[in-house]
Amino acid sequence: MPVAKHSYEQVASQISELREKRDDLQTILESFEDIFKEQYETGQSFQPALTGLDFTSCKKKHFDGVPFINSKNVSITWERLDALAKKICDITRPLAESGESEVENFLKLLSESPERWHDAILTGILEDRSPLKELAESTHIGYDTLIFISTQSLTPFIEKYAERLREYIDGNVWLKGSCPVCGSEPLMGRLEEENGKRHLQCYLCRTNWEFARLECPFCDNNDLKKLRYFFDEDNKHHRVELCDQCKSYIKILDTREVGDRFSLVVENLATLPLDVIAKRDGFTRDTNRLFGL
């Protein structure tokens, strides 16, 4: 059964260890250390309303290729969402640099007309980016900034729903590269220590699920002539898998090399230099937005 790997305490410990080794990532690690803490505390105080979910239809949804939750069957506590968003804005100011005015524009939106964000965020994150793109344009908030704040704010709420739904995932039926719980793209993947199978982790609700080893999770391409990967010679347990068909990429942790004690949400930060290389070569990711990184 797919589960969310690693507790908050393990994540905090891993960040602390990484900060001692990586001077180049100090600001980012410090910011995300605070973000993960705020997300954890928000999630601890939120109980999802499950009345809108039909658990008996989960198997059928798998067969139909439909994720378990959508913008219509989840309910968010808006006051807590807004409070978390404000904290994320304060935490990430050092990362914003030239985009700091965009953070200020978001805080202005949150203060003057938060319902505009509320109306856009669930559909914009779970189904169709259009409402968030339109909101970004009309408020002079950079799209990357708005996506980052929205996903980081929404994560603890959707993760709580995912905790109740992961047991219904059937790996023999769900063969898609998107999350079976919320439909989002994977953040990273891992090759399992025992059998080398590839599992992906959702960037939003942090659910893990098995996916084909030699297939692009973003366009389903399985033509080996259009799939390749690269790695750093000094860090062979991380690699970047590239798809020449859709020009997307995904980072992979090979736990057969280092064991399974690492959280992918932290490994994603540790491997940011690999993102720079992939993007320099023309590959993109919609979900790995961090004020332009």
- pLDDT tens digits for the chain (293 residues)? 444 556 888 899 999 999 999 998 998 899 999 999 999 999 999 999 888 888 888 889 999 999 999 999 999 999 999 999 999 999 988 776 656 788 999 999 999 999 999 999 999 999 999 999 999 999 999 888 899 999 999 999 999 999 999 999 998 899 999 999 999 999 999 998 778 899 999 999 999 999 999 999 999 999 999 999 998 888 888 999 999 999 999 999 998 878 777 899 999 999 999 999 999 999 988 765 654 44
For the range 234-243, what are the long-range contacts, defined as Cβ-Cβ under 8 Å and sequence gap of 24 or more?
Answer: 238/267, 238/270, 238/271, 238/274, 240/274, 240/277, 240/278, 241/189, 241/216, 242/278, 242/281, 242/283, 243/216, 243/218, 243/219
User: What pLDDT was estimated at residue 17?
Assistant: 92
* Dihedral sign of CA atoms 17, 32, 292, 77 in order: positive
